[in-house]
Chain A
């Protein structure tokens, strides 16, 4: 009983669910628990994971970013266009893709902090706007024919580990440190718990918010480049619906949608669990898109469970 009381209740519940599903899935399919499959899953998890990390920071401050999927798509298109149509070297095109992500994120941050538009509305509008710009720029033409070295990012491996998984691990370490071990991280919780109080205690609320929305755009841009490298082509509908997977992962990981509570460890557990469930179910013969039913159920049930436990602990 001590296991389900005390701190980090939600993370513990999640870890238990994760273990149970690992056991069940490996019993259901002998292809599941193979090194090859697990590493391969790392490739698919990476994009969701990269975007989920800054999303955790944003939700901890009580905000939300619905535009991440569209920023990913926009960055992918910027990559394709600057390389193919403008003739920039691919390295510069990759840089401009991430830069486009940063600009898009900062634009969100600007609307939220300076114009005081609620984050839900801001990013709902820019979800349409950024996806619209991506569609308008690409005119539904896809870009292909990237040089071989570019695919290293999304298809290559170092010592047998997929490259994007290493990028993700580095990002996890950085975001964990940022949120759990720095003054900035503590300020994020303060903003999420009581923004006015945070402001009065001298925290530069607006600057911090602007920064984390920019960070969110940057990682969405990076995820876009990784995405293009993984699938070898650029299309304007890339990353549509990503925001829902990412928010599901973050909330599943125990971050309160009202702000003030959440950890990077929880988020990592969240997106790993989502990735494993999708993969494991696909291996046991459930049709690809249908696996999202389980994600929806897990999302609702996990929050119900932690709400109940919390009420009992009180």
Chain B
């Protein structure tokens, strides 16, 4: 009994040491040390802060995406949705409504749109990749029809949520850290959070255990909408103007953060701490390449290699574990 407890504790330690999260922390630290030695301006507080600030919304969106992927689904419409939400938020703000309206309406709208996508996936049995592909088209095209690609400027000063610095730290970083910690705790300890893993691991088993996979899938899309909504508001408020176009490849960057963070695309495993660390790592790599004088045109190729390396490493590790069992 005692022996088993000791080995359990050791396994717990192993689990932490060899987890995806630890691998990401090590990768991040080595990146900062190596690139910092080559060019110390990379590790200057100003640069670190600006990396985190500019990409925090991606980490926030990746939290929701990770939950969706954990249930065995995917949402490729989030990039377009963030574009639409930014335009909605900006339009409300320039029409003279109070700023809190401009901040909250996009979040509610995102939950509504994402929720309707969830209903299509869960109850109408349209595979999530196809349904969200349809939503991507509708949202992206709808945005062009609505705004014609014009920029929104003349935003009131109070609107710039992402530009505030409570206690000296920019709001996007607050959101990223607090939401990650809260979501991680919630995924680990709440009934709903646990059941997302159950549905993603084995939907049929989850159903037999008394859960409703359909309602859970619809719910996870609503929750994803909440995080995408916050990401959209952070994105809208980080500059003085809003470009009402969909940032290219945004959904891919968000999915990449989830996957590199250790969320298995097959569903059932992964944590939001991992996806946030991965979002930071991706952002840091993009910045690091500039500091070591690599042309920014190689950034995307580096991301591609990174996803492949992570996935291969992860598969290899799983095979080793199975071998040990």
Contacts and interface: CB of A to CB of B under 8 A. Distances in A.
A115 B141 contact: no
Interface string A98-117: 00000000000001000111
Interface string A124-156: 111111111101101110000000000000000
A297 to B, nearest CB: 6
B298 A132 contact: yes
B69 to A, nearest CB: 10
A177 interface: no
A121 B259 contact: yes
Contact of B134 (A286, A291, A299): A299
B130 A299 contact: yes
A257 interface: yes
B124 interface: yes
B256 interface: yes
Contact of A129 (B129, B144, B301): B301
Given A115-B315, A117-B312, A139-B297, A247 B304 contact: no
Contacts of A115: 312, 315
A229 B141 CA distance: 28
Interface string A292-305: 11111101100110
B297 A140 contact: yes
Interface residues of B, number: 45
A307 B137 contact: no
A314 interface: no
Interface string B283-313: 0000000000001011111111101100110
Interface centre among A118, A139, A293, A307 (most CB of B within 10 A): A293
A276 to B, nearest CB: 16
B179 interface: no
Interface in B134-153: 134-142, 144-145, 148
Provide the main secondary structure of the chain A interface: helix
Q: What is the predominant secondary structure among interface residues of chain B facing chain A?
A: helix
B133 to A, nearest CB: 6
A289 B144 contact: yes
Contacts of B145: 286-287, 290, 293
Nearest to A129: B304
A301 to B, nearest CB: 9
B126 interface: yes
Contacts of A303: 126, 130
B68 interface: no
9 contacts: A64-B129, A120-B74, A131-B301, A136-B301, A244-B136, A247-B133, A290-B144, A296-B137, A300-B126
Interface of B: 74, 120, 124-127, 129-131, 133-142, 144-145, 148, 248-249, 252, 255-256, 259, 265-266, 295, 297-305, 307-308, 311-312, 315
Lowest 7 A-B CB distances belong to which pairs?
A: A129-B304, A132-B301, A296-B137, A132-B300, A293-B141, A128-B304, A296-B138
